[in-house]
A and B are shown apart, each in its own frame.
Chain A
């Protein structure tokens, strides 16, 4: 943690290395806390920021995201014992979305695993994981450091993102495949670019030494001037991630280590991440519990709902036709891109098959008068909004 001074605790909230640039842009002065960092919730207008990321390019300061560097001879076996998925399939220069569990097969967190170079990995997670990583390292020859503060990061997301970055000088970037990693020289240091993001759109994440953060920001925004580049805060990001169907720890599931009541936690199957569980690979933490769950059946199904009407179903109860409780909405929004009233929900098994129809119990108010509707809704397959550009290589040049 070379960028933290000994006195860092005097600073109540740590400014990101981009702060000198984000601060003047934050017209709303709307800041939040994110893992000890000062982080912009919104800059100008949430809708504008949302539309920038869907129609042009939104830039989100990702620095506070918890990062861990994992190296050493046993890095791969260590990660394979940690993660539910087969990590050996994530080749050098590639990124994989991962989930990891406790002994009971309940999700601790999800995150992205970057295979930076042969045997060198970076794990980005929503929650700090150093304790669990070190616990999981017992019996493995592996080095793990949390290096959140040593890496400045920006998410550059939206249709014009590739064009902007190419204009900034990242030649050939259009050939980078989704979940690929590329390195570029940048003013005497190295800029790492990954085609990843939390928006479900065409987009990239940039990783650089914090000493070059401001220069990167300036070059990026200069290049993006004619391409509709705009800073994007946490609230707009939370909208696009719901459209993309991405989970948010603490919102869509309770991280197992935060749960006091163990039954509130969820297995990967119960949060729709069964596709990340490879029960036929060598042992990983939670495997026995998950095998048992496979045998007995899961308690919950995680679903995407398309809800009639335009009243957002935030925190709604989901009822069956006889108005009996079957589950709860975890995230919801009106999706401008999908032109639909959408939600992520956790339903008690066996409810939740694609096509199942339910009622969402929605409360809303008009001028302090509350109304209740039972909005018909149905379980849908696939992603609410998935533009073709997300997966296109070469990336389109908008």
Chain B
């Protein structure tokens, strides 16, 4: 009945597509079943107002694995970057902005010592981020086992760290688990600079700059090499959906069957192994191998069911922290907005409202108690400046990540949405006073919306908080951290696995390797 050559991938997010293509290259007959009407998951471009398109969740490309880009020939499948090396403009209410371009900083009354400190900071952080990045393209080693590949993985990890040299290794061990706020205090004076850099550490997380792990998340964010530059940011032409469109094209070219509007109701289990899937419409498709791109809680609770799993494992899945805290704001604008003090040629860069790190921390304080930030922090982009396809002639779209917006808002999002939208627009208006007049349509996606639309539990950016206790051989939980799971034939390939979220593809590629090598837990 079952078919050992066939692999079903549940979910056509970018990781599912990457996994599918590698499996097809490895000789498998692959079917991708995506619930939504298009492939891409949280990396899609979609119309939110007639004529206005925007990257619905992820909007900046920084982590996409260059190896995958080459191996899957994504350029020849249409991937193009509309703009690389985006600068960060740390907005000041008085218009005296600060501009960060790699390790160079200018404006905002920044001191000479901050200028030199940034060079030092980037040198070190880039080294550490590179080290982290090296762990990303292989499965994490299991601990407490004597399997040669696991021992090798652990040894390699230790060696990579040793190669940092004594001083940097010590520094790495000192800071890896702590918070970015303290580190920035050690380097810098400028509140604007510290604000913008601290925000990098908390984007997409349930962390404030003073939360432990925010150095780790900063390094995660810097671990990519888009356009060949460590920690750089880019706009894909056509929005994030263009990245997944290229991935889908690559998959199709390798013979992968791509099916949209095919939500999987459950993964079929026979005793100890999976035998296929059943779609919500009742259709069953058999396969010896099922790879889930859905988040771990969806996979194990909704698709597999607790009763097919051991209780201790279920408890671990239950305990994964995965309550999203980032909202997404989309504005359709009649014209290009003006931000006080921002030069027209700066408008297309990444604009950040995080005037100092205490501001970000205070914004986070609210989220701890289930409230939205009364003064939220924002990452703002106007992608239509680089990509005319996104809006009608002369008009524009603004895409912003807004923090913090806790998944479980006190009183619920139905009641809170409008008030929070106003809070966000008020905040935006402080920096772009005329923006309200230019808005023709507003969309605010809360984590609850993201959960609903993109089927990500908690609407969490990373399919589960990115933190040391949920990283590497702990991600998503021990027993499922090498892409294989307790059920034979079932694998994971989404952001909930090592190395985590962001449009990067590593999880998909590593999962394919695990499937092709037979996959042991």
Contact = CB atoms under 8 A, between A and B. Distances in A.
Interface of A: 77, 81-82, 102-103, 132, 135-136, 138-140, 282-283, 285-288, 291
A282 B307 contact: yes
A135 B307 contact: no
22 contacts: A81-B311, A82-B311, A102-B311, A102-B312, A103-B311, A103-B312, A135-B311, A135-B312, A135-B314, A136-B314, A138-B315, A138-B318, A139-B301, A139-B305, A140-B306, A283-B307, A285-B311, A286-B310, A287-B272, A287-B310, A288-B272, A288-B486
Nearest to B488: A288
A139 B486 CA distance: 17
Contact of A132 (B272, B311, B486): B311
Chain B: number of interface residues, binned into ranges: 10 to 19
Interface in B265-315: 269, 271-272, 301, 305-315
Contacts of B313: 103
B315 A288 contact: no
A140 B309 CA distance: 12
Nearest to B486: A288
A73 to B, nearest CB: 13
A103 B269 CA distance: 18
A288 B310 contact: yes
B145 to A, nearest CB: 13
Contacts of B271: 283
B304 to A, nearest CB: 10
Nearest to B301: A139
B307 A103 contact: no
A132 B310 CA distance: 12
Contacts of A282: 307
Given A81-B311, A102-B312, A103-B311, A139 B306 contact: yes
Contacts of B308: 283
Contacts of A102: 310-312
A286 B271 CA distance: 13
A81 B307 contact: yes
Nearest to B318: A138
Contacts of B306: 81, 138-140
A283 B309 contact: yes
A265 to B, nearest CB: 13
A291 B272 contact: yes
Nearest to B316: A103
Given A139-B301, A139-B305, A291-B272, A103 B318 contact: no
A285 B310 CA distance: 4
B164 to A, nearest CB: 34
A285 B313 CA distance: 9
Contacts of A140: 306-307
Contacts of A82: 311
A286 B272 CA distance: 12
A236 B374 CA distance: 69
Interface in B470-508: 479, 486
A138 B314 contact: yes
Contacts of A286: 310
B194 to A, nearest CB: 42
Contacts of B479: 103
Q: Which of A77, A138, A140 has most B Cβ within 10 Å? A: A138
A103 B301 contact: no
Contacts of A283: 269, 271-272, 307-309
Given A283-B271, A288-B486, A77 B307 contact: yes
Contacts of B269: 283
A285 B312 contact: yes
A88 to B, nearest CB: 14
A288 to B, nearest CB: 6
Contacts of B310: 102-103, 285-288
- Among the interface residues A102, A103, A282, A291, which one has the most CB atoms of the partner chain B within 10 A? A103
Contacts of A103: 310-313, 479
Contact of B311 (A77, A138, A288, A291): A138
Contacts of B311: 81-82, 102-103, 132, 135-136, 138, 285
A283 B313 CA distance: 13
Contacts of B309: 283
Given A77-B307, A81-B307, A283-B307, A139 B272 contact: no
A139 B314 contact: yes
A150 B317 CA distance: 34
A263 to B, nearest CB: 12
Given A140-B306, A283-B269, A285-B312, 20 more contacts: A82-B311, A102-B310, A102-B311, A103-B311, A103-B313, A135-B312, A136-B311, A136-B314, A138-B311, A138-B314, A138-B315, A139-B305, A139-B307, A140-B307, A282-B307, A283-B309, A285-B310, A286-B310, A287-B272, A288-B310
Nearest to A132: B311
A75 B70 CA distance: 54
A134 to B, nearest CB: 9
A117 B100 CA distance: 71
A282 B312 CA distance: 17
Nearest to A136: B311
Residue among B269, B307, B311, B486 with max Cβ neighbours from chain A (10 Å):
B311
Nearest to A81: B307
B305 to A, nearest CB: 7
A23 to B, nearest CB: 41
A282 B309 CA distance: 11
A70 B312 CA distance: 19
A45 B486 CA distance: 53
A135 B316 CA distance: 10
A138 B317 CA distance: 10
Nearest to B305: A139
A286 B312 CA distance: 9
B209 to A, nearest CB: 34
A287 B309 CA distance: 9
A286 B486 CA distance: 11
A63 B357 CA distance: 59
A82 B479 CA distance: 19
Nearest to B308: A283
B313 to A, nearest CB: 6
A288 B312 CA distance: 13
A138 B304 CA distance: 13
Residue of A132, A283, A285, A291 with most chain B CB atoms under a 10 A cut-off: A283
Contacts of A77: 307
Contacts of A135: 311-312, 314-315
Contacts of B301: 139
Interface in B299-352: 301, 305-315, 318
A140 B269 CA distance: 18
B334 to A, nearest CB: 51
Contacts of A136: 311, 314
